[in-house]
């Protein structure tokens, strides 16, 4: 009987799962805690960000949009399903992307890496009670 190792940060899976794993590993929080936060966290986005955390989400949305708009079709590089490799730098304890620079997978990983670091830098602004004005 072969034992299957527990999934680590470098395990392969759908990007949204990898993104959630990155957030969990770096921030010790569930990615779901960001879903529906402010005006930009979660699917869609509108208006002005309510704080620094929400501004991270807006930048992440625009990063994904740039990937989609710079490819010949949505299916040639979908940020939502592209599988990438990442790991933690043992000194800085920050994520780094392991795919070939310039590749679709590297670009998606970079979007997720940057927003995760942004969340960390703006953790002091996180207030789940903040909602997007209607």
Task: Judge contact between 15 and 84, C-beta under 8 A.
Answer: yes
User: Is 73 a residue whose pLDDT tops 60?
Assistant: no
Q: Which of 10, 51, 60, 87 is catalytic?
A: 60
What does the block give as tokens for 30?
């569930």
* Residue 55 in domain: yes
* Residue 44 in domain: yes
61 labelled ligand-binding? yes
Q: Catalytic site residue 124?
A: no
- In the chain, how many domains are there? 1
Q: What is the pLDDT of residue 53?
A: 96
* Residue 54 in domain: yes
For residue 67, what are the domain limits? 37-124
* Residue 13 in domain: no
* Residue 70 in domain: yes
Report phi then psi at 54, rounded to 5. Answer: -65, -35
* Residue 4 in domain: no
Query: Whole-model pTM?
Result: 0.83
Q: Which of 51, 62, 106, 112 is catalytic?
A: 112
Q: Catalytic site residue 89?
A: no
The secondary structure element, H or E, covering residue 97 is strand 95-97
User: Is 40 a residue whose pLDDT tops 90?
Assistant: yes
42 labelled ligand-binding? yes
Tell me the pLDDT band of 8, cut-offs 50, 70 and 90.
very low
Give the residue among 38, 2, 17 at the shortest CA–CA distance from 119.
Answer: 38
Residues of the chain with pLDDT > 70, as a percent, come to 87
* Residue 19 in domain: no
Q: Which residue has the tokens 């005006």?
A: 39
28 labelled ligand-binding? no
> Which domain CATH number covers 106?
1.20.90.10
């Amino acid at each position: 009987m072969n034992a299957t190792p527990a999934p680590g940060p470098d395990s392969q899976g759908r990007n949204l799962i990898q993104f959630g794993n990155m957030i969990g590993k770096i921030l010790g929080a569930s990615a779901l805690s960001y879903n529906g936060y402010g005006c930009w966290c979660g699917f869609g986005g509108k208006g002005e960000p309510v704080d620094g955390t929400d501004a991270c989400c807006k930048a992440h949305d625009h990063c994904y949009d740039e990937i989609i708009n710079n490819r010949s079709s949505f299916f040639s590089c979908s940020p939502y399903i592209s599988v990438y490799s990442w790991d933690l730098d043992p000194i800085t304890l920050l994520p780094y992307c392991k795919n070939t620079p310039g590749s679709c997978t590297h670009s998606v990983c970079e979007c997720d890496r940057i927003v995760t670091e942004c969340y960390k830098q703006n953790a002091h602004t996180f207030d789940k009670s903040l909602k997007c004005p209607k």
